[in-house]
Structure 1
Amino acid sequence: MSLRRLAILGYALAVAGCASSVPPAQVTRFHLGQPLARGEIVVEPLNPAMANSLEFRDQAEAVSAELARLGFRLAPGISRSELVAVVAVTQGFRDEMSGGSGMSVGIGGGSYGGGVGIGGGVSFPIGKSNSRQMVLTELAVQLKRRSEGTVVWEGRARSEARAGTPYAEPSATVRRLASAMFKDFPGESGRTVTVK
Structure 2
Amino acid sequence: MKPMISLSCLCAALALAGCATPPGPVEVTRFVAPESLARLGQGTIFVETMPGTDGDSLAMAPYKAAVARELAALGYVETDRASASQIAQVGVDGYVIGSNGRRSPVSVGVGGRTGGYGSGVGVGIGINLGGGEKDRLGTELSVRISEAAGGASLWEGRADFSPPEDSPLARGTANAQTVASALFREFPGNNGETIEVKVPE
TM-score norm. by structure 2 comes to: 0.66
Q: Sequence identity of aligned pairs in percent?
A: 33
Indicate the SS of the match to 1:183: coil
Q: Residue 66 of structure 2: which of 62, 65, 75 is its match? A: 62
The answer to whether the 8 A contact 1:145-1:152 is kept is yes
SS of the counterpart of 1:147? Answer: coil
Kindly provide the CA deviation profile for residues 140-183 of structure 1, in whole angstroms up to 9, marking residues without a partner as x: 00001121111100111101111122121133212111101111
SS in 2 for 1:50: coil
Deviation, 1:192, is: 0.3
Q: Distance in 1 between matches of 2:180 and 2:18?
A: 24
From the superposition, tell whether residues 27 and 49 of structure 1 become closer, same or farther in structure 2 (CA, over 3 Å): closer
Does the 8 Å CA contact 2:66/2:176 hold for their aligned counterparts?
yes
Structure 1 residues 49 and 23: CA distance shift in structure 2, 3 A: closer
1:115-153 deviations in whole A, cap 9, x for unaligned? xxxxxxxxxxxxxxx673211210000001121111100
CA RMSD of aligned residues (A): 2.4
* Equivalent in 39, 42, 54 of residue 43 of structure 2: 39
Distance 1:94 1:21, change over 3 A: closer
Separation of aligned partners in 2, 1:27 and 1:91: 16
Distance 1:162 1:49 in 2: 25
Instruction: Return the index of the structure with the highest Cα Rg.
Output: 1
- The number of equivalent residue pairs is 149
Q: Counterpart amino acid of 2:157? A: G
SS in 2 for 1:52: coil
Structure 1 runs (4+) deviating above 3 angstroms are: 16-22
Tell me how far 1:42 sits from its aligned partner. Answer: 0.5
Structure 1 unaligned runs (5+)? 1-15, 99-129
TM-fit CA distance, 1:66: 0.1
Equivalent residue runs for 1:113-124 within 5 Å? none
> What one-letter code is carried by the residue in structure 2 that aligns with 1:192?
T
1:49 and 1:21 mapped to 2: Cα distance? Answer: 30
2:95 alignment counterpart? 92
Structure 2 residues without counterparts, runs of 5 or longer: 1-16, 102-131
Q: Which has more strand, going by share of residues?
A: 1
Counterpart-to-counterpart distance in 1, 2:178 and 2:147: 26
Equivalent-residue separation in structure 2 for 1:45 and 1:191 (angstroms): 25
Q: CA deviation at 1:19?
A: 3.2
Report the TM-score when normalising by structure 1: 0.68
